Amino acid sequence: MKMMLMVAMGGAIGSSLRYLVGVLATRLFGINFPWGTMIVNITGSFMMGVLVTLLALRFSVSNEVRALLAIGVLGGFTTFSSFALDFVYLFEKKQYYTAMGYMSISVLCSVLALFLGLAVTRSLAG
């Protein structure tokens, strides 16, 4: 239960930060391109790389703190950072085909699933 609370608390922080980045990006760059999402995905992935390295090489922290930061804060900020970490993990294990398949299937199927969700909901909503 403690782990769940840590993740939830981190998720609230990360989601709030994501919202603020989106608002700021819209004010700075307008609404014609998803700047906020792109900024969040790129910076979140960078931060995941920094965090994982620091936790592995420099800091000894509890699993709860790891979950708070990686799953909670960065997961709430962007799940893309978790996706990127999974890809890099496979790639560094020299599972190149698996990594490329994971990336391709994840992106393609996620976009297709969104289209499917739109179509199903629109057809049911009339």
Return the closest-CA partner of residue 74 out of 99, 54, 45, 100: 45
- Model pTM? 0.78
- How far CA 97 is from CA of 80, 104, 119, 123, in Å, comes to 20, 10, 32, 38
- Cα angle value 48/38/88 (rounded, 5°): 35
Query: CA 49, 70, 17 angle in degrees (round to 5)?
Result: 95
**Residue 81 confidence (pLDDT):** 81
Q: What is the pLDDT of residues 13-24, one digit of tens each?
A: 999 999 999 999
Q: What is the pLDDT of residues 89-122, one digit of tens each?
A: 999 999 999 999 999 999 999 899 889 988 999 9
Q: How far apart are CA 36 and CA 22, in angstroms?
A: 4
